[in-house]
Amino acid sequence: MKSLIAISLSLSFAAQAADFPTKPARIVVPIGAGSSMDIVGRVLAQKLTEAWGQSVIVDNRAGAGGNIGADLVAKSAPDGYTILFASSSFSIAPAYYRKLPYNALRDFVAVTQLSSRNNVTTVSPSSGVSSVKELIALAKAKPGQLTFGSGGGSGSSDQMAGELFKLLAGVDIVHVPYKSGPQAMNDLIGGQMSVYFGGIPVQLPMIKAGKVKPLGTSGLKRSSQLPDVPTMMEAGVPGYEMDVWYGLFAPAGTPKAIVDKIAAESIRIMQAPDMRERWASVGVEPAGTASAEFSARFKEEIGKWAKVVNSAKLAPD
């Protein structure tokens, strides 16, 4: 009897996957419009709409370091029609926030890692700072007086990029959380903020326009989009390296067949030759991993960032 029930359920899930989607779906982006995440999320949503013949919209739910959007997805029906577009910040949250309305491992299923990207340290051209070493010297001369912003707010990967800099450079710079990268950049350009450790995609247009000055990128090697900009390690901060990933998560209980279908279509889109050129133009490297592989990396990173948060004694602002 049990085997018959199992077979019946298996056939039912397979049928759901074959028909999926039969109605509009949404990708929840837990950060404000115009950010690096939002840029990639909107392109993915557009391509999924074209592939499926069903509308896939981006639903921006900014606030609380991404936790508002994540909680919304955690409590959504596990049917594949509401999925979370997350970044590395999602693996930071469990350690950074002592109390969360969801459990990152229990309440979600990892769908696929979409991409990876680096951050770039920038300052305003009017700051008088021309290198990372000069930034460090200024910060040491004015402890606690310089500020750095984070496009994703408290606990975001942008903040961790800044905190990592503080730890390795031995400086005291004050964190200021923002709801989106463009908001942070506006204050940087206007002189209300000293330095920004944001993503290359959102900063690239302003760098090309000469409105912000790049000092160093966060990867192990130089960015193809900013080949003349040294890595942070080359610029004088030994050990500084940070890779920011984007990925999709569905509510726990979403049928595996549907998870696999979303993953397969998303991977196809990310790795398409024409899309590779588009990603390269904004500083994003397409990835594409199966659910099990991404799940393993997610668990590993939760442990990694817990060590960083605890060693730096970080807490929500």
72 vs 2, 5, 137, 234, CA distance in Å? 34, 32, 43, 41
pLDDT tops 60 at residue 10? no
pTM, full prediction: 0.77
Asked if 2-115+245-312 and 120-217 have one fold, the answer is yes
Q: Where are the domains of the chain?
A: 2-115+245-312, 120-217
CATH topology of domain 2-115+245-312: D-Maltodextrin-Binding Protein; domain 2 (3.40.190)
What is the side-by-side strand order in the sheet with 25-29? 56-60, 25-29, 82-87, 244-251, 108-117, 284-286
121 vs 32, 154, 219, 266, CA distance in Å? 20, 18, 11, 30
pLDDT digits (tens, 9 = 90+) for 84-138: 999 998 999 999 998 999 999 999 999 999 998 899 999 999 999 999 999 999 9
CATH class held by domain 120-217: alpha beta
Nearest-5° Cα angle at 108, 303 to 154? 55
Residue 71 is predicted with a pLDDT of 98
Angstrom distance (rounded) from CA 301 to CA 305: 6
pLDDT digits (tens, 9 = 90+) for 36-51: 788 889 999 999 999 9
